[in-house]
Amino acid sequence: MSLDAATVRRIAKLARIRVNDEEVSTLQNELNAILGYVEQLGEVNVDGVEPLSGGAQMALRQREDQVTDGDMAEKILANAPDRIGNFFAVPKVVE
Amino acid sequence: MFDLTLAGAAKALKAKEISAVELTSAYNEAVAALNPRLNAYITTTPELALEQAKAADARLADGSATPLTGIPIAMKDLFCTEGVRTTAGSAILEPFVPPYESTVSGKLKAAGAVMLGKANLDEFAMGSSNITSFYGAVENPWKRQGSEAKLVPGGSSGGSAAAVAARIAIAATGTDTGGSIRQPAAFTGLAGIKPTYGRCSRFGVVAFASSLDQPGPMARNVEDNALLLNAMAGFDAKDSTSADRAVPDFTASLTRGVKGLKIGIPKEYRLEGTNPEILALWDKGIEWLQAQGAEIVEISLPHTKYGLAVYYIVAPAEASSNLARYDGVRYGKRVDGADLIDLYERSRAEGFGAEVKRRIMIGTYVLSHGYYDAYYLKAQKVRNLILKDFTDAFGQVDAILTPTAPSAAFGLGEKMDDPVTMYLNDVFTVPASLAGVPAMSVPAGLSADGLPLGLQVIGKHFDEETVFAVSAAIENAAGFSALPEVRAK
């Protein structure tokens, strides 16, 4: 299976990365090389094999659903590229 | 002074033969002299280091010191450090100053370690040569005999590796997702361990692939690694995959020896076309362990050849999800746009480098509707088979011995033809990452042109102690004492 330019553009859109025409053609070649390499997994028989999602040899822990942290708006906003008061500021979303 | 190992420096500090301030000042000067050339550090923190050294001297005087108190180290710039810029090697985090401390760096701080600066790395830890850093490539302090050509230090923990090898840090932290501690350690003549997944907290480590990422130490020898891991490991409620297990004293296993241990040699790692030097070193490692009383057992890890393919689906998939947070809104670089979507797309287009974009795109694709089952789910199933390979093998043997990397350090600009060629660097390290088992690289010899080569010891889940015991046995037999050309003297 090989990606065409339109698919590369669609993936870039999904990934929220702006790409120009030149990048599309480079990415198309590179992504196809990677996908070509991973095609070999097709030959492995995985009938009845459960997917392994994590490296941890254990079930995920549960904890009480309670607030353990907070009250640090200034710290959280300190790295904001733009802010208004205690809010992150972005271009207008709703007209 | 620069010849001291971590253990040696700790002894000298304790005996008051040297003060922490003297040691740190010497290292600060060495960093200032050599870093402009090597580019091992993205950010240096000489003033903070001096302050920490003064506090260390106070602890050394009042008896509250640990073996790490007053030891100058490099911190991979993937660990969030409160008040000290943390870039992950990316333009998108260029202005980011974390308001909190990662658990691992916090533990080292609490133990009294002195931070000389934040070490360079491949952007978001994605790479095997440290050439994808927005802050420039790192030069390997080692040279091929009779050549001044610049070599890569490996990656992604390339700055950490170069700093310790060139003696502008006594030791360093790294992180390993598919080989990012072990391969650079091998390329620079260091020892480095990727602990069992869950052994060291990932809290505050900029995330790449969360089911694989694992912090660990890098240092000049096996003992120094044990001392560092003692301080870095341990349960952390802030990391949902942190293992709630007691941490043994890893230094106790260094002198255990290998007598009676069964060491597995996986036949599938004898890849066609592997450099004969690497295979010869592997055979030497086998002889060393045999001579010290270990029993050598040929084993099979039948799904080894699929490790890289699984990795290059799973890791990008997790990366595409983890890196979705960099949107130019809450922190990091913002590039203004006509509307919010345009702002996202421009910020990410300018903020991410080519390799990171590639991996986000691959990850987005394999997770997208219609392709999830064929790629991502399939890869997760083969990942389970790779884990089963190791589980079966560890039914027969106590540890596994392999080469760390298929070659010695290569030149800057080599292996750049296509991404897959670069990915092959990790062929021997990726399987242990996928299985979550601990693995260590130990310097074991030199190539014909004088570059360090490493052997990898893989252990059972949470059995770093056997990994240390076997690694120490190899270290003793190898007697590796070569030094890189570029170093503080």
- Kindly provide the ipTM of the predicted complex, given to two decimals: 0.95
B36 CB-contact burial (10 Å; exposed 0-12 / middle 13-18 / buried 19+): exposed
> Is the Cβ pair B358, A60 closer than 8 Å?
no
Residue B102 is predicted with a pLDDT of: 98
Q: Which residue has the higher pLDDT, B179 or A59?
A: B179
A40 pLDDT exceeds 80? yes
Tell me if B60 is assigned to some domain.
yes
Indicate whether B331 and B240 sit together in one domain.
no
Residue A32 is predicted with a pLDDT of: 95
Place of tokens 């080519």: B354
Q: How far is B86 from chain A (nearest CA, A)?
A: 12
* DSSP β-bridge partners for residue B399: B263, B459
Q: How far is A89 from chain B (nearest CA, A)?
A: 7
Spatial distance between the Cα atoms of B478 and B103, rounded to a whole number of angstroms = 35
Facing residue for B384 by CB, picked from A51, A78, A82? A51
A81 contacts in chain B (CB < 8 Å): 328-329, 331-334
The confidence band for B195, taking pLDDT boundaries of 50, 70 and 90, is very high
The confidence band for B423, taking pLDDT boundaries of 50, 70 and 90, is confident
A1 pLDDT exceeds 70? no
The number of distinct structural domains making up chain B is 2
Average pLDDT in the B472-482 region? Answer: 98
B63 CB-contact burial (10 Å; exposed 0-12 / middle 13-18 / buried 19+): exposed
A9 CB-contact burial (10 Å; exposed 0-12 / middle 13-18 / buried 19+): middle
The rounded radius of gyration (Å) of the Cα atoms in chain A is 22
> Is the Cβ pair A46, B387 closer than 8 Å?
no
The confidence band for B417, taking pLDDT boundaries of 50, 70 and 90, is low
- Give the residue from chain B lying closest to A18, CA to CA: B345
Domain boundary among B209, B227, B252: B252
Q: Say which residues have a Cβ less than 8 Å from residue B174's Cβ, sequence separation at least 6.
A: B76, B157, B160, B161, B180, B181, B184, B185, B192, B215, B216, B217, B218
Mean pLDDT of chain A: 92
How large a percentage of chain B has pLDDT more than 90? 96
Indicate whether B229 and B321 sit together in one domain.
no
Indicate whether B243 and B311 sit together in one domain.
no
**Which stretch, A6-20, B267-281, B422-436, has highest mean pLDDT?**
A6-20
pLDDT digits (tens, 9 = 90+) for B348-383: 999 999 999 999 999 999 999 999 999 999 999 999
Indicate whether B177 and B43 sit together in one domain.
yes
DSSP secondary structure letter of residue B208 = S
Tell me if B407 is assigned to some domain.
no
- Give the residue from chain A lying closest to B366, CA to CA: A35
pLDDT digits (tens, 9 = 90+) for B234-266: 999 999 999 999 999 999 999 999 999 999 999
Tell me which of A52-61, B323-332, B438-447 is least confident.
A52-61
Q: How far is A28 from chain B (nearest CA, A)?
A: 10
Facing residue for B329 by CB, picked from A27, A42, A88? A88
Q: How far is A67 from chain B (nearest CA, A)?
A: 13
The backbone torsions φ and ψ at residue B468, rounded to the nearest 5 degrees and listed phi first, read -65, -40
B349 contacts in chain A (CB < 8 Å): 17-19
Indicate whether B45 and B150 sit together in one domain.
yes
Question: Angle at Cα B476 formed by Cα B474 and Cα B482, nearest 5°?
Answer: 95
Tell me if B186 is assigned to some domain.
yes
Mean pLDDT of chain B: 96
Indicate whether B311 and B244 sit together in one domain.
no
Tell me if B318 is assigned to some domain.
yes
Closest CA to B251 of B49, B6, B479, B22: B6
- Chosen for mutation from B126, B238, B330 (greatest number of chain A CBs closer than 10 Å) is B330
Domain boundary among B339, B367, B382: B382
> Is the Cβ pair A15, B364 closer than 8 Å?
yes
Question: Angle at Cα B341 formed by Cα A95 and Cα A33, nearest 5°?
Answer: 160
Residue A57 is predicted with a pLDDT of: 67
> Is the Cβ pair A18, B197 closer than 8 Å?
no
> Is the Cβ pair B420, A34 closer than 8 Å?
yes
Facing residue for B331 by CB, picked from A46, A63, A80? A80
Indicate whether B58 and B121 sit together in one domain.
yes
Indicate whether B11 and B96 sit together in one domain.
yes
> Is the Cβ pair B361, A79 closer than 8 Å?
no
> Is the Cβ pair B309, A38 closer than 8 Å?
yes
* DSSP β-bridge partners for residue A84: A87
CA distances from residue B225 to A66, B101, B205, B217, B313 in whole angstroms, order as listed: 38, 22, 19, 6, 31
Facing residue for A46 by CB, picked from B244, B352, B378? B378
Closest CA to B262 of B42, B469, B489, B27: B469
SS3 B295: strand
CA distances from residue B481 to A2, B202, B291 in whole angstroms, order as listed: 50, 33, 21
Query: What CATH number does residue B182 fall under?
Result: 3.90.1300.10
Tell me if B477 is assigned to some domain.
no
Tell me if B441 is assigned to some domain.
no
A4 contacts in chain B (CB < 8 Å): none
Tell me if B217 is assigned to some domain.
yes
Domain boundary among B252, B282, B313: B252
Facing residue for B361 by CB, picked from A11, A38, A52? A11
Q: How far is A86 from chain B (nearest CA, A)?
A: 12
Determine the distance from the C-alpha atom of residue B247 to the mean position of all C-alpha atoms in its chain, rounded to a whole number: 20
**Which stretch, A29-33, A34-38, B201-205, B370-374, has highest mean pLDDT?**
B201-205
> Is the Cβ pair B419, A80 closer than 8 Å?
no
Strands B171-176 and B114-119: unpaired
Indicate whether B231 and B314 sit together in one domain.
no
Tell me if B423 is assigned to some domain.
no
- Chosen for mutation from B382, B416, B417, B423 (greatest number of chain A CBs closer than 10 Å) is B382
Closest CA to B7 of B256, B191, B164, B227: B227
Average pLDDT in the B427-444 region? Answer: 97
B73 pLDDT exceeds 90? yes
Containing B434, the helix (H) or strand (E) segment is helix B430-435
> Is the Cβ pair B346, A93 closer than 8 Å?
no
Q: Say which residues have a Cβ less than 8 Å from residue A41's Cβ, sequence separation at least 6.
A: B306, B309, B310, B313, B378, B379, B382
Q: How many CB atoms lie within 10 A of CB B174?
A: 33
> Is the Cβ pair B364, A11 closer than 8 Å?
yes
The confidence band for A63, taking pLDDT boundaries of 50, 70 and 90, is confident
Indicate whether B213 and B118 sit together in one domain.
yes
> Is the Cβ pair A50, B377 closer than 8 Å?
no
Average pLDDT in the B191-201 region? Answer: 98
Structural domain containing residue B50: 6-252
B435 contacts in chain A (CB < 8 Å): 55
B455: tokens are 């052997």
Q: How far is A40 from chain B (nearest CA, A)?
A: 7
A95 pLDDT exceeds 80? no
Indicate whether B359 and B248 sit together in one domain.
no
> Catalytic residue positions of B?
76, 156, 180
DSSP secondary structure letter of residue B166 = T
Average pLDDT in the B283-305 region? Answer: 97
Residue B92 is predicted with a pLDDT of: 98
| A·B CB contacts under 8 A | 173
Domains in chain A and their CATH numbers? 5-41 (1.10.20)
Indicate whether B185 and B93 sit together in one domain.
yes
